Amino acid sequence: MKKLIVLVSLMFVSSLASAATETLYVQSLKAELKAEPNFSAKTTGTAMKGEALTVIDKSNTWYKVNHQGKPKWVFRYLVAAKPPMGKVSVLADDGRELDKGARRRASVVTTTAAVRGLSAEDRARNSRQGMINFDALEKLDNMVINDNEAVAFLSQRK
Amino acid sequence: MPKLFRVTLTPRRLVAGVFVLSLSVAGAFAGQDFRRRGPDTNTDTAFKDADVQAEVRFGREVAGRLLARYKLHENAPLNRYMGLVGKGLALNSARTELEYRFALVESDVVNAYAAPGGYVFVTTAAFNQMRDEAEMAAVLAHEIAHITQRHIVKALSIRAREESPEAGLTRLIGGASDPARVALNQALEKAMEILFDKGLQKEDEFDADRLAVLLLAASGYDPMALPRYLERIKALHGKELKVLSTTHPPFDERLVKLSQTLTAEGIAQVNYPNAKERFQKHVKKK
């Protein structure tokens, strides 16, 4: 009877454990994994964007996760319950807005649907009234930094 | 008292009973989420591409209006430097689907602005108060936090009853009728009012401060850079501070909360770099 009670208790506990299993996905480009739940702890691994991590425990702003069969800690800010999205853009490859490109050069537009903003008439009106600086906006559109360059720049800091 | 039921507990009945109980408990818990719900994990409902596109399109319209108010500071190397640091931080955040852009704008008012969808602006007055790269990163991290947490989108309150704020924005951006255009223009004006006049709710600013120091630490920058920079700004007087004081909570409140966060997270004493030399090298070139 004792053995039966132990067996039944184990069944109950394991059913609770499986109900609470949680998977999180890395959202940042990469996430450093730590031996302890703090930034000063030893780095014990790196998880890449989109990688799934099973949660074992939590402490404040850290999750203890299973990574390559070993328990490690990941900062909560870098993970989420759903896989990360791909890059979203409203500009066609040639830097023009998708709503204009969609009508004239459909072949260069990405597969994402064109999103209409203000109409051409509204834009012209706003530009004349000085409400929107489209020239500066186009310069801003071109101020894109390559991901790999940014990562390399970060790593060179002292 | 009459005996209503009499059940003899046999081993088989015990196992069956616990099995049924386990299933019902598992079923009850399966729909729940034991994570502490907080703004720093992306636990919101799944965003569609169209929702994010609408957010970016809206933010771009706001950026265009901001650039009509403040002239773009056309120092390409300095903007690029700020962009490299900002992008590096953004890649350590939870919304890498956004193509962030960082730019300096000419103003003698100390402030920085975040438009939805990834547009971050820092005034030249704010930049001139920075002493190292970690302080610049601190200001950028604060603005990135406003974007990752969708503070402005939520503050616009444009959703219909069962709609998320993001779906509300998608509906506004996608509308072609005159009422839709009017509604979009009103939302844009409200966004500008938030940025330049009323500010966000205090809690959103405290949230951005908290997430900023966490992002700094996660990116390997000295998290003390943010309170250090705020202490310096607090000591300024006059017109430079006017807009910042109107759109943000009092400095003392921010600094107290930051101190609490830094202690609670164990990042008050981390020995992370501030990249002062690299910052001075880039600033000297301007």
For residue B192, count other CB atoms closer than 10 A to its CB: 17
The span from the CA of B47 to the CA of B166, in Å, is 8
Q: Are B182 and B70 in contact (CB under 8 A)?
A: no
- CB-based contact, A17 to chain B, within 8 Å: no
Closest-CA distance of chain A to residue B218, Å = 7
Question: What chain A residue is nearest to B269 in terms of C-alpha separation?
Answer: A40
- CB-based contact, B245 to chain A, within 8 Å: no
Closest-CA distance of chain A to residue B33, Å = 8
| pLDDT surpassing 70 at residue A3 | yes
- Write out residues 92-131 of B within 8 Å (CB-CB) of A: 92-103, 119
Q: Are B229 and B135 in contact (CB under 8 A)?
A: yes
The span from the CA of B144 to the CA of B120, in Å, is 8
What was the pLDDT predicted at B184?
A: 85
- CB-based contact, A124 to chain B, within 8 Å: no
> Taking CB atoms and an 8 Å limit, are A119 and B176 in contact across chains?
yes
- Write out residues 52-111 of A within 8 Å (CB-CB) of B: 55, 58, 60-61, 75-82, 84-90
What was the pLDDT predicted at B5?
A: 44
Residues of A in contact with B54 (CB under 8 A): 115
Q: Which among B36, B71, B88 is the nearest to A153, CB-wise?
A: B88
Q: Which among B26, B36, B57 is the nearest to A19, CB-wise?
A: B26
Residues of B in contact with A5 (CB under 8 A): 14
- Burial-class residue B29 by CB neighbours within 10 Å (0-12, 13-18, 19+): middle
| pLDDT surpassing 60 at residue B240 | no
> Taking CB atoms and an 8 Å limit, are B80 and A87 in contact across chains?
no
| pLDDT surpassing 90 at residue A4 | no
| pLDDT surpassing 80 at residue B141 | yes
User: A78: closest CA among B40, B263, B222, B144?
Assistant: B40
For residue B179, count other CB atoms closer than 10 A to its CB: 8
pLDDT tens, B241-261?
555 667 788 889 999 999 999
For residue B264, count other CB atoms closer than 10 A to its CB: 12
Residues of A in contact with B93 (CB under 8 A): 27-28, 77
pLDDT tens, A120-157?
666 666 665 668 898 999 999 999 999 999 999 999 98
Q: With bands split at pLDDT 50, 70 and 90, how would you rate the model's confidence at B15?
A: low
* ipTM for the whole predicted complex goes beyond 0.90: no
Q: With bands split at pLDDT 50, 70 and 90, how would you rate the model's confidence at A9?
A: low
> Taking CB atoms and an 8 Å limit, are B91 and A29 in contact across chains?
yes
Question: What chain A residue is nearest to B12 in terms of C-alpha separation?
Answer: A4
Integer angstrom CA distances of residue A65 from A51, A59, B41: 12, 11, 15
Residue A75 φ/ψ, nearest 5 degrees: -70, 130
pLDDT tens, B104-123?
999 999 999 999 999 999 99
Q: Are B87 and A150 in contact (CB under 8 A)?
A: yes
DSSP state of A114: P
Residues of B in contact with A131 (CB under 8 A): 65, 68
What average pLDDT does the segment B37-42 reach?
Answer: 40
Residues of A in contact with B34 (CB under 8 A): 20, 22
